[in-house]
Each structure stands twice: as C-alpha cells, then as structure tokens.
Amino acid sequence: MDVLFALQTNFWPLLIAAAVFFFIWKSRSKEYQCKFGRLPPGPAPAPVFGNFFQVYVKEPYNYYLELSKKHGSIFTLWFANTPVVVISGYRALKETMIGMGNEFSGRANYPLIMKITNGYGVLVSSGERWKQLRRFTLLTLKNFGMGRHTIEDKVKEEASCLVQSFSTFGDSAFNPGIIINKAVCNVICSIIFGQRFESDDPQLNLMLGAVDDYFNVLSSRLGQAYNIFPKIVGLFPGRLHDMLSEVEKAKGLFKLEAEARMKTLDPSSPPKDFIEAFLLQMEEEKHNPNTEFTFNNLLCTTWAMFSAGTETTSSTIRQSLLLMMKHPDIQARVQKEIDKVVGQDRCPSIDDRQNMPYTDAVIHEVQRSMDLAPTAVPHKMLYDTEYRNYLIPKGTMVLPLLSSVLSDPKLWKNPDNFDPENFLDEKGRFKKSDAFVVFGMDSAFNPEYMINKAVCNVICSIIFGQRFASDDPQLNLMLMAVDDYFKVLNSPLGQAYNIFPKIVGLFPGPLHDMLSEVEKAKGLFKLEAEARMKTLDPSSPPKDFIEAFLLQMEEETHNPNSEFTFNNLLCTTWAMFNAGTETTSSTIRQSLLLMMKHPDIQAQVQKEIDKVVGQDRCPSIDDRQNMPYTDAVIHEVQRSMDLAPTAVPHKMLYDTEYRNYLIPKGTMVLPLLSSVLSDPELWKNPDNFDPENFLDEKG
C-alpha cells in the first residue's frame, strides 16, 4: 500500500520527469545524428544505453553476423551515445581496410586497453607513434630470426620440453592447457628477455596468470560493459580490478628487467633481446624531444607482444589437439605425412613445410574454423570519409568483423565444418586464400595496394592526363574493378563461363559482382570523356589518350565505317588500364618477393645501383645500358613468374594447313608461352630464378 500510495502521490512528477528525459534524449539523438553525418543504418538504439543490451544478452559476434544479413555489409551500433560502425564481408573489408587504409587506419580508444596502456605502445596508438613502434618491432623481430632458423631452434627446444611434460602423465588424463601456455610463453620470453624460464618459476606463472585474466575479462560481458560505461563499471570491485592488478605486476617485471639492462647496456654490442634493442634505440634518440622510444612505450609494447603472442599461439595449439581427437581420420592423415616427410629420427623443420601441404592446410583450417579473433582490433576514422553514400566522421570507431569472411560460403568450399580441403586445390596442393583474415586485414601489412596505386597513376596520367590522390574514391573504384576482373578471369568460375556462358551467367555471385564493378569503372571513363568533349579544341594538341581518341573521332565524324566510336574508346581505355596495371604491379610485387628470397641477388643489384646511380638522384632510363645485372634480374623476374602462361587466344582467319594438319577458319588457337619460358634448350637454368639466364659469359 505504501508503494502504491507513493506512486499515486508522485505520478505527475514522475511522468513529467520521464517526458523531459525522453525529449532530451530525442534532441540529443538528433544532435548526434547531425554531428555524426550520414551513418549507415542499424538496429534502433534505446535511450541512454543505445544497443548495449541487444548485444549484451546475445553472443556479440553472432549477433553482428545476424545484423549484417539484415542491414548489409556496413551498419551502425550505438553504445550509449557513441556510434560504432561495423564492417563485414570480404569486399567491404578490402575496400575499407586496404583500399582506403589511410582513412580507416586509426586505432580506437578502447577503454579497457587504454586503462592498461594509457595510450602507449603499439596496440592502441595511431599516427607517428604507431608507425615508428610497429616498424621497429617488426624489424627487431626479423633481426632476432622471426620466421627464420634462429627462432626455429628455440621453438624446437620448447617443443621437446612440451613432449617430455606430456609423457610424464603416461596414460592418465590431464589438462594440457597450462603446459602449452608455458611452452609458448617461453618462446616469446626468449625474444623479449633473451632467456627461458623453468615451468615452476614464479615470474613465469605471474605473467601467464596476468595474460589469462586479461583475456578472460576482455572477452567477457564485464569487459563489454566496461568498454561502454568505463566510469560506472570501474567503481565496483571484483574481477576487473583483480585483472588490472595482475597486469600491473607483469608490467612491473618488464620494468625490473629493463632497469637491470640499463645498468649494463653496451651500445657497441648487438642487442641480445627485444628489451635491449629498444633501450639502445632510446639511447640513440635521447636528444630527440619528439621521440616515441620512451620507457612507457617499451613497457606497453612488450606487454602487447607478450599477451597477444602467448594467447593466439597457445589457443591454436589447444584447439588443434581437440580437433585431432574429434577427427581421427584427419589426425591419421597428418601423422602419415609427418612420417613420410620428417620421419621418426628428427624434429620437423620450417623447410619441411613446402613438402607438407596437408599438414599446412590443417593448421590453417584450425585457425579459420576456431575464429580466434571474430573482430580485428577496433579501428578509428582519421578523416571524415564518404563510403557507399554514407559519411563516416573523423573519430568514429570502426569494428572489422573478420568472422563474416571466415564463414562466407562464397569464399570457402565447406565453411561450416572443420575441413582442410578449404586450403587444398584439386591436386592436393596447399592453396593460399585472400579470405584467410584470421589476424586482420590491414594495408599496413600488404604493399600490394600501394604498388597498384603507383602503377595505376602512371597509366592514369597517360589516359586522363592527371594522377589521383591515393585516397581518391575513383582510383580505388578502378583498382577494385581490375582486381576483381583478373580474379574471376583466372578462376574456375571464369573458365566455366568461357565454356558455358549462358548457363553460368544465370547464377548470381562473384561473376556478376565483377561485371558490375567493371561497368562502374567504364562509367568513370565515360564521364571523363564526356567532360572533355565539351571543351575539346581541335586546334590544340591532345593532353592525354582520351583527348587524342576524341580528336580522331571528330576527324572521322562523316566516315560511316569509322572504328573511332565512343564504345571503342571506353573498351580500349579499359583494356589499357587493366592490362597495364596488373602486369606492371605484379612484376614489381614479384620482384620484392624474389629479392627477399634471394638476398645475395638483392645485394648484387644494390651494389650496381650504388655504383651507377648513387644515393643522390633517381635512376634514369639512360642508366639501363650501364646496369646489365639489374636489367637481367628484371627480365628474369618476368620470365620465372610466367605472368601470362598463354597469349590472348587467337582465331584462324582462313582454312590453313600446318604440319600436315588442316585447321579450319574460325578455330580458336591458344599460344602456350610457358612452353618457351621453361624450355631447357633455350635457357641455362629454366627451373630456377637465375639472372644468368640473361647474361653472357662476360656478365
């Protein structure tokens, strides 16, 4: 009765307060919509909380996938009054994370990670700090042998210890999780600290406990709540504060290790571990007021390496064990390949990988199917950006939904099941996939788009008489069209269409997506041509290819049989654009790969460049005659990569007799260029990358 009386007494004040609250929220929503531009659609947000409870009560990443089916590949969620743009699907992720990497490459201020790092380190920083720390970290890891034999010895050592630990349990059941974590952790410790720890070392257990607590909270509903309402959730004691305390203890160990090294640091000696390398760089830049090599950045970069490296690798190994138990047939096939290639008398080596396609496919499939990181690290818009008719303002958080790519039936043979065939071709060879985005999709890791844009701009300067800025939407549209065109052209789908065009053309999918992209690119060419037609001056020399073609069209206006038509202009321009971009950029990319694979050849090229060109100017075409080795290397890149195994298909114009065969008029003819480029009668060393194929006995 007291409660009822209180409600009756305060009914009107409560109603008025609720109404005022509602209208304030509505007005703020309008204000935010204005502030946040033309954001993509999404589920309706609730007052104050936004979409928090819709996400909170479900598995977030499955909910995001559901929303992508309803709202498309880009949609907006609201957490309180903060918008988060979610991007899903391979095409949208590639367009944004790679094609528009400059705009989307910021790192969002994720409250929980910011609480731990205060914005220091490589994980959540943006701009110059991120560039410098990332470049330094990758270079240092490379110097310490990441991906090479130096680190392989440490991995073998820990693998042996791991197997010995397993064997102590005999036939008894046991939980391998902690043992695996310690083995993985020790590999990372050998890079960071230059040493491994015994399995019962309190320091090792402290660091592992911190990593475990960190990821448990980060992936929990408590972590989600903190990232949306940090000030409120941070008030309550419990798991969150326990985890933060453990992480601080781990960072305290890193600090002690760093301080100990500072006392004995010798700038004249090469660094023995990552901490020493960072301290030497700090010493080198101590007089630079803008240096990013500070103690705080050292501690937080070390924590990022330690936590991320331990969790991802140990999770993959644990999941591999579970899946091998679940699929004994796959386990048996992996074991058979190991026995065949490695045998029983030695440890496997990184060099064995190329001879173990099935095992390689299984490891990749473990990571794809387990969906280790459903989203990439949250990004942040660095500029106001227009994308697909939406305007995403500077500072907006962007969440790349990697799960959407890893489970896409258009990209995988069998996406819903654990199936190594997803990474094998029809001959059982390992097949790389651009859709394998387990650790994110980021232009910073891939030079392909930078090279493509540079090459594309050279062609644009010929066709359009101008270059485009790297973030220009028109440039990105044209590049995406070229990329999609060649992927379909070289795929089984493209082959099938060329044989059964009417049947294959009935089905929606990548073919029609590609055709749509190409039409958009040709639409740009059309707009450029129409703009020039309005200002065309026959008395002035043409400034670019389009103007030259239009002038020829004008000259042949009264010729009924003229081939200088608008359609021929568009299609000739497209042919120049796609063929020129793909061949040149592929050659440059392959050159980079081959120089990394053959450092001796790279060194000889560099020596010739330094001798002929020097360091103070750009090379010129006139230098070519004085650089025979570099010239030979470029030719050998193109020969060995076999860029176009066949020439453009020809057609017989007449009934023709050749070598006692009669080939009728109209028959398609396929010139097999590969047969010449790999002929041992024509080349010194046709099966290997060898510049000597283009050098005489005098070099």
CA atoms within 13 A on the CB side of 88: 26
pLDDT digits (tens, 9 = 90+) for 630-678: 999 999 999 999 888 888 899 999 999 999 999 999 999 999 999 999 9
Are 441 and 426 contacting, i.e. CB atoms less than 8 angstroms apart? no
Confidence grade of residue 453 (pLDDT, cut at 50, 70, 90):
low
pLDDT digits (tens, 9 = 90+) for 185-224: 888 888 888 888 888 889 989 999 999 999 888 888 888 8
Decide if pLDDT at 20 tops 70: no
Report the alpha-carbon distance of residue 516 to residue 519 in Å, rounded.
5
Q: Residue 198's CB: how many other CB atoms inside 10 A?
A: 11
Confidence grade of residue 4 (pLDDT, cut at 50, 70, 90):
very low
Cα–Cα separations (whole angstroms), residue 415 to 406, 492, 504: 7, 19, 22
Q: β-pairing, 656-658 with 668-669?
A: unpaired
Structure tokens at 206: 């402290």
Confidence grade of residue 451 (pLDDT, cut at 50, 70, 90):
low
Q: What is the pLDDT of residue 52?
A: 78
Helix (H) or strand (E) holding 334: helix 328-341
Distance from the first to the final alpha carbon of the chain: 104
Q: What is the pLDDT of residue 7?
A: 41
- For the CA atoms of the chain, what is the radius of gyration? 30
pLDDT digits (tens, 9 = 90+) for 64-109: 888 998 999 999 998 878 899 999 999 899 888 887 877 888 888 8
Confidence grade of residue 145 (pLDDT, cut at 50, 70, 90):
low
Report the alpha-carbon distance of residue 421 to residue 682 in Å, rounded.
38
Confidence grade of residue 1 (pLDDT, cut at 50, 70, 90):
very low
pLDDT digits (tens, 9 = 90+) for 33-47: 445 558 999 988 887
Q: What percent of the chain has pLDDT over 90?
A: 32
| Residues forming a β-bridge with 661 | 658
**For 476-496, what is the mean pLDDT?**
84
Burial of 503 (0-12, 13-18, 19+ CB in 10 A): exposed
Q: Residue 121's CB: how many other CB atoms inside 10 A?
A: 24
Q: Phi/psi zone of residue 328: left (φ > 0), alpha (ψ -120 to 50 degrees), beta?
A: alpha
Report the alpha-carbon distance of residue 126 to residue 106 in Å, rounded.
5
Helix (H) or strand (E) holding 36: none
Q: What is the pLDDT of residue 432?
A: 85
Domain assignments of the chain as residue spans, ordered by start: 2-89, 128-316, 447-597
Residues 6+ apart with CB under 8 A from 83: 32, 36, 39, 76, 77, 396, 397
Entry pTM:
0.67
What is the SS3 string spanning 403-462? HHHHCCCCCCCCCCCCCHHHHECCCCCECCCCCCCCCCCCHHHCCHHHHHHHHHHHHHHH
Decide if pLDDT at 30 tops 90: no
Q: Considering the domain 128-316, what is its CATH architecture?
A: Orthogonal Bundle (1.10)
Query: Max alpha carbon distance in the chain (Å)?
Result: 110
**For 518-522, what is the mean pLDDT?**
88
Q: What is the pLDDT of residue 313?
A: 86
Decide if pLDDT at 147 tops 60: no
Q: What is the pLDDT of residue 604?
A: 93
Report the alpha-carbon distance of residue 235 to residue 506 in Å, rounded.
60
pLDDT digits (tens, 9 = 90+) for 359-387: 999 999 999 999 888 888 888 888 888 88
**For 512-534, what is the mean pLDDT?**
88
Burial of 250 (0-12, 13-18, 19+ CB in 10 A): buried
Structure tokens at 416: 């819903």
Give the residue with greater pLDDT, 431 vs 444. Answer: 431
Q: What are phi and psi of 669, to 5 degrees?
A: -125, 130
Q: What percent of the chain has pLDDT over 70?
A: 91
The residue length of the chain stands at 699
Q: β-pairing, 385-387 with 390-392?
A: antiparallel
Q: Which of 3-12, 29-38, 615-624 has the lowest mean pLDDT?
A: 3-12
- Measured CA angle at 235 (ends 233, 238), to 5 deg: 80
Label residues 4-36 b or e (16+ Cβ within 10 Å = b). eeeeeeeeeeeeeeeeeeeeeeeeeeeeeeeeb
Q: What is the pLDDT of residue 123?
A: 78
Q: What is the pLDDT of residue 509?
A: 80
Q: Which of 98-107, 289-298, 492-501 has the lowest mean pLDDT?
A: 98-107
Q: What is the four-CA torsion angle of 491, 493, 494, 497, rounded to 10 degrees?
A: 160
Report the alpha-carbon distance of residue 18 to residue 24 in Å, rounded.
10
Q: Residue 216's CB: how many other CB atoms inside 10 A?
A: 13
pLDDT digits (tens, 9 = 90+) for 381-419: 888 888 888 989 988 999 999 999 999 999 999 999 999
CA atoms within 13 A on the CB side of 285: 14
